[in-house]
């Protein structure tokens, strides 16, 4: 196989599906509490250095071989005070929450776990430890993932149904998909859930957020005050809510950390946002488990032919006739760097047109000459390709009167005599009368002009054929 591009720039496409949220909700809102305190880098946890990420310490750096007392104390605040402040806020507002729980952190916080369960919060897995996996081998990351699931099950009484590593590697999603989770959130690439195909498994992805996230209180060019955090959450909500009113409902995630937004000077911004949301109708505040169950029921995955995954022979067999009697266009397209963006009619058309346009004029001329005359001798002898037969029939060219047939024959002869290739037009875009008018207008054009126009029409015909296939 030639190179295949693994990233997906197409996604749901220009018209995202109707989420059909419960009770006609205009937006789904997911609040996530990251519980990491006790799972961060620390010599006490067997790590080589102290934690340096997402704290009040500006410019923090790892301390190899040393405990960082101030860093540990800041994390302790999240467990001792911040968690309970968030717990009171959400239970008081009767808003369900998803917890991203680091397994070792949960094991060190039995009171907090009990409170999560008493509130019917969903506890998903946030990995074994809250560390960076970018440099881990595949085997070592998989081993930590298995250990996280085992410890999570021991601590909570049941295995996690959802997964989010956060400080992920390029292997994380693929490894997590092998575990059978209902959902995975290690992406930030959409406003709606979507399905990923992982071998034989159809894996639901519920994208997460790094912008509507209190982590920006602890990063450069982030939030400096609660007012900034509230304004950003409100504006995001307003934009998505308006799209929902217009018939394109999406989802919004809000990422929270006990040691960050759990501080008194920040939690009021979150409280104002909760009150703002509750002042709107048609808002579905849901755990990610609920969103996953809804999506699986209302938008089950359907596998289909993906051109980018076909071998050479199958690809050419399926798409070799898209450009009339010119399989070399499909062969050239198969050799390009295809990806998920080319698995649609529009995407594959783009790749095939690249090949056609890059070809020398004599090769493109042969494509033009491979097209049949409209209502010509091949049609009368029933020797057209299936595509050409259907296309000409769509405009009524298979049911001409004798007079109309004579007119087409005369115009075909005049056009070919002048330009050296048949008159080409995407007949599905026109009526019989419109085709005749175009014939009369274009026969008098210069050959260079007509060559360019005929090539454009060939590309249009190819697009229509691909839409019929895909």
User: 383: pLDDT confidence band, cut at 50, 70 and 90?
Assistant: low
Q: pLDDT by residue (tens digit) across 155-197?
A: 999 999 999 999 899 999 999 999 999 999 999 999 999 999 9
How far is Cα 319 from Cα 330, in angstroms, rounded to an integer?
Answer: 6
Q: Where are the alpha helices (DSSP H) in 246-344?
A: 264-278, 288-298, 312-319, 327-334
Q: What is the mean pLDDT of the chain?
A: 91
What pLDDT is stored for residue 268 in this prediction?
96
What pLDDT is stored for residue 71 in this prediction?
78
* Stretch 133-137: mean pLDDT: 93
The reported pTM is 0.89
Distances (CA, A) of 365 to 81, 348, 360, 382, 424: 76, 22, 9, 24, 12
Nearest-10 Cα torsion for 384, 386, 388, 391:
140
User: 378: pLDDT confidence band, cut at 50, 70 and 90?
Assistant: very low
Q: Where are the alpha helices (DSSP H) in 215-311?
A: 226-245, 264-278, 288-298
Q: pLDDT by residue (tens digit) across 434-467?
A: 888 888 889 889 999 999 999 999 999 999 999 9
Continuous segment of H or E residues that includes residue 41: none
What pLDDT is stored for residue 50 in this prediction?
79
Nearest-10 Cα torsion for 375, 381, 387, 389:
50
8 A C-beta contact, residue 352 and residue 329:
yes
* Other beta carbons less than 10 A from residue 3's beta carbon: 10
Q: pLDDT by residue (tens digit) across 230-287?
A: 999 999 999 999 999 999 999 999 999 999 999 999 999 999 999 999 999 999 999 9
Q: Are strands 201-205 and 194-198 parallel, antiparallel or unpaired?
A: antiparallel
* Stretch 387-393: mean pLDDT: 69
- The two structure tokens encoding residue 301: 């995955």
Residue 382 scores a pLDDT above 60: no
Residue 138 scores a pLDDT above 60: yes
- The two structure tokens encoding residue 325: 């009697």
8 A C-beta contact, residue 366 and residue 415:
no
* Stretch 125-149: mean pLDDT: 94
Q: pLDDT by residue (tens digit) across 9-67?
A: 999 988 889 999 999 999 999 999 999 999 887 888 888 787 877 777 677 777 788 88
Spatial CA neighbour of 191 closest among 125, 276, 248 = 248
8 A C-beta contact, residue 275 and residue 233:
no
Continuous segment of H or E residues that includes residue 369: helix 361-370
Token pair 């509130």 in the structure block, residue: 119
Q: pLDDT by residue (tens digit) across 392-408?
A: 676 566 666 778 788 88
8 A C-beta contact, residue 15 and residue 63:
no
Query: What is the chain's alpha carbon radius of gyration, rounded to the nearest angstrom?
Result: 30
Residue 379 scores a pLDDT above 60: no
> Could you tell me which residue, 393 or 101, shows the higher pLDDT?
101
How far is Cα 39 from Cα 102, in angstroms, rounded to an integer?
Answer: 6
Phi, psi of 197 (to 5 degrees): -95, 115
Residue 115 scores a pLDDT above 70: yes
Residue 69 scores a pLDDT above 60: yes
User: 372: pLDDT confidence band, cut at 50, 70 and 90?
Assistant: confident
Catalytic residue among 87, 257, 294, 371: 371
Burial class (CB in 10 A: 0-12, 13-18, 19+), 287: buried
Residue 349 scores a pLDDT above 50: yes
What pLDDT is stored for residue 205 in this prediction?
97
What contacts 24+ positions apart, CB below 8 Å, involve 92-95? 93/274, 93/278, 95/31, 95/274, 95/285
Residue 377 scores a pLDDT above 70: no
What pLDDT is stored for residue 380 in this prediction?
44
Query: For this structure, is 371 an active site residue?
Result: yes
How far is Cα 332 from Cα 418, in angstroms, rounded to an integer?
Answer: 31
* Stretch 68-95: mean pLDDT: 92
* Other beta carbons less than 10 A from residue 189's beta carbon: 12
Q: pLDDT by residue (tens digit) across 404-423?
A: 788 888 888 899 999 999 99
């Amino acid at each position: 196989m030639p190179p295949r591009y693994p990233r997906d720039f197409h996604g749901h496409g220009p018209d995202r599906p109707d989420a059909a949220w419960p009770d006609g909700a205009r937006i789904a809102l997911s609040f996530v509490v990251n519980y990491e305190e006790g799972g961060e880098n620390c010599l006490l946890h067997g790590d080589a250095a102290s934690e340096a990420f997402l704290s009040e310490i500006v410019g923090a750096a790892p301390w190899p071989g040393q405990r960082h007392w101030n860093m540990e104390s800041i994390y302790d605040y999240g467990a001792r005070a911040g968690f309970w402040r968030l717990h009171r806020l959400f239970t008081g507002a009767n808003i369900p929450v998803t917890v991203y729980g680091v397994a070792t952190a949960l094991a060190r916080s039995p009171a907090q776990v009990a409170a999560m369960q008493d509130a019917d919060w969903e506890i998903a897995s946030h990995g074994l430890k809250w560390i960076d996996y970018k440099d881990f081998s595949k085997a070592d990351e998989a081993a930590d993932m298995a250990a996280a699931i085992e410890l999570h099950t021991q601590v909570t009484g049941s295995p996690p149904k959802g997964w989010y590593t956060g400080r992920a590697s390029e292997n994380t999603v693929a490894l997590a998909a092998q575990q059978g989770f209902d959902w995975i959130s290690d992406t930030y690439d959409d406003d709606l859930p979507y399905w990923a195909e992982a071998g034989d498994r159809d894996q639901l992805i519920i994208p997460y957020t790094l912008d509507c996230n209190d982590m920006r209180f602890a990063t450069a060019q982030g939030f400096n005050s609660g007012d900034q955090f509230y304004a950003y959450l409100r504006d995001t909500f307003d934009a998505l809510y308006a799209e929902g009113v217009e018939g394109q409902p999406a989802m919004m995630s809000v990422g929270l950390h006990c040691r960050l937004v759990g501080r008194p000077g920040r939690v009021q911004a979150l409280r104002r946002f909760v009150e703002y949301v509750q002042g709107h109708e048609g808002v579905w505040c849901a755990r990610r488990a609920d969103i996953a169950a809804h999506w699986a029921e209302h938008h089950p995955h359907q596998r289909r032919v993906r051109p980018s995954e076909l071998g050479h022979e199958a690809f050419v067999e399926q798409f070799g006739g898209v450009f009339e009697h010119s399989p070399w266009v499909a062969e050239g397209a198969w050799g390009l760097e295809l990806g998920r963006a080319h698995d649609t009619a529009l995407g594959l058309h783009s790749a095939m047109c690249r090949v056609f346009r890059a070809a020398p004029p004599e090769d493109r001329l042969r494509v033009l000459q491979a097209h049949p005359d409209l209502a010509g001798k091949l049609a009368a002898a029933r020797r057209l390709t299936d595509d050409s037969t259907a296309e000409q029939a769509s405009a009524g060219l298979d049911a001409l009167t004798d007079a109309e047939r004579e007119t087409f024959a005369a115009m075909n002869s005049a056009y070919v005599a002048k330009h050296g290739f048949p008159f080409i037009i995407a007949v599905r875009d026109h009526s019989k009368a419109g085709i005749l008018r175009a014939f009369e207008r274009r026969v008098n054009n210069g050959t260079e002009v007509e060559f360019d126009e005929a090539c454009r029409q060939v590309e249009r015909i190819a697009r229509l054929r691909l839409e019929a296939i895909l």
